Structure 1
Amino acid sequence: MTLQTAERSFSVSPTARGVWRRGRAIVLVGAIVVIAAVVPLLLPSGSPQGGTPLDPGDSSLVGSRALAQVLGAHGVEVRRVGDVATALAAAGPDSQLLITDSVSLTQGEAGRIAAAPADRLIVGDVPHLDVLARGLTAEIGGTRSRSRAPECGLREATQAGDAYMGGTAFTAPPGSTGCYPSDGKPTLVRYVVDGHTVTVVGDGQFMTNLRLAEDGNAALATNLAGTKQRLIWLVPPAQSDQTSQPSGPDGSDGSGSEPKSIGDLIPGGVGWAVLELVIAVGLVALWRGRRLGPVVAERLPVVVRAAETVEGRGRLYRARRARDRAAIALRAATTDRITPRLGLPRTATPDEIVTAVSVRTGVDPGQVRQALYGGAPADDAGLVALAGFLDTLERQVQDS
């Protein structure tokens, strides 16, 4: 379009030169961002270190240093040892022995471990399982590891929820508790032998740095490994420094060296990349800041009532037949609401909660325990009955 005046005419149509003048700033900022992203990749970095599976001092993907630090933060003393003699010397009634499939044991060593006065946590395809876990039989042929539901009444498993389990399935002895089944056979078994608790897990990948943050892996690993004040973690002799130094909240892992900080683990080129990105963002802010206008309030197109959300989740549970998940949610919500009314702290144990509810309402402690910490309902009618009983129990606590 051309505008005519008395003296001269000029064009207001966009030209190639005008478009380039307005767009070159965008091209310049885009080039800076690309350079900032590519330069760190071209800079040399340290050679990757090999990892030792399920080693509490290993920060690689297959190691378990993250779990050791979590346990230390929860007050569990983790001792990393590389020989059976040192492990047995440190074992006691207040400790638990952790044996993984990365450790090669003789039958004699397995027998000495089985006779130790400590609980045992056996992870993976450990040799001489018939000695370490008497009465337990490993099924022939492996089972695929994947995210599985607990489907059991073990508190450590139900609190964690789904976890990455599999590897080996077991035939559990009488009186044991089996969780995370595969084709009807549990991949996690816990039972008592000679007064000591024995826990056997078919696959230890849920304890590694790679998978610890998935599903309920961290909660399950912490619940299983943190049952005692001291965890004696047996590792291959070649990977141990033989010092057996404990780990704690400060991050020490028994390796005899100071733990690396986050800054030590970051490659050197990342700092320059971050600086370049900061400069690029600053240039964009200066360039586009003058174009900012007032905040525009926009009404939501639809308002969803809370009841509809609850009903929708209930329908999803019903479609998936997830009665176990629904029961866990109902029990957890009821426990969270009645615990403050009972005058108990959030850290109260199930036994304390059951006793307080029974005293307050007069209901039999066994019924209270079954309602708050029992197994999954067998059918929908059982789930409805459980919900009604929990509601009645909560009302009695509230009105008492």
Structure 2
Amino acid sequence: MTRTVTAVNPTVRQGWRTGRWVALALFVIVAIATVGTYLTAPRPGEPMDPQSTSPDGVRALVTLLRDRGVEVVEARSVADVEGAARDDTLIVFAETFRLTGDEQLRRLADLPGDRLLVEPVSRVREALAPDLRSAGASSFAPAPDCDLREANRAGDAQLGLADSYRSANPDLPLTSCYDGALVRYRDAGRTITVVGTSGFMTNAGLLKQGDAALAMNLVGSAPRVVWFAPREREGAAGSATLTDLIPDQVTWIVLQLSLVVALLAIWQGRRMGPLVAETLPVVIRASETVEGRGRLYRSRRARDRAAEALRTATLARLLPRLGLAAGAQRPAVIQAVAQRTGADPGPVGHTLYGPAPATDTELVTIAHQLDDIERQVAHS
């Protein structure tokens, strides 16, 4: 038997080895790119969520605090806050519009440690900072102009439109910064800090002048921070479904009415005859209509008409929420809004029924103030 031996060219062997190394390098590059994409992918979430990398999340601030050695505990419920609160803890109330139960607010008010309330709604402010009252909303100067060390170290900050606060007790030693947008006082051995905006703490707001320093100074003042941003509404009544709350008699009435409506539809359908095809009119987007009207107002410098349109639309949405009729008098509307938001009637009346703006900046300020009033009424 003759055995044939085939010799492999050294050039072929060298090319095979080179090809394997190239394939291995490509595999490593793809693996690194995949892992990098996963680690740097955006993580959307709720506003003020410590895990969210969206513009209104606070993952950047929480990461900076942890790099600085601050222990940040993420709390999603009142029970989590109760389990993490201690005397040396700063509790940050980042999202307060989901706190609706009186029992939950009483439990939070009894917890030890300092408090930092970020843009609190009226209900939460009255429970956790009872010595403060709302002083309305406006655009504030960037200078702190106060004796608060955290604010002075940060210097000028771009807070923009924010709620302001004042003391309800003339004898209360209240430290007020940024024209009342940031206030602090001592009560029952704890430090209570209230800030009227959350924008400077977000991932997008940290890039503005002084905002990152102010956020770090306020939140990083304690070695241990409990970040409370509930994902679900706290204090909702029970776990019963909608069908469990409907009486049996109502179910039968609904079935009977459905049968009546079906019979009426059949009867009317036979009388009206067959459907007739008809050419539909041109559909225009609502955004294009609003933009076109805004350009017309701006081209004619019709700031008075623009402000009147904004105020009329705001009142049309506010009156049903306040339980007022469409023809309610101005004093009644102003008093109802002031009671609901906790603001002074004077600024509220000026915003809702004040004179026409003289500049575009004043028109933009009125729009922001109307939006803030509507938001406070909706969340109160």
Q: Provide TM-score, normalisation by structure 1.
A: 0.45
More helix by share: 2
> Given the two structures, how large is their TM-score scaled by the length of structure 2?
0.47
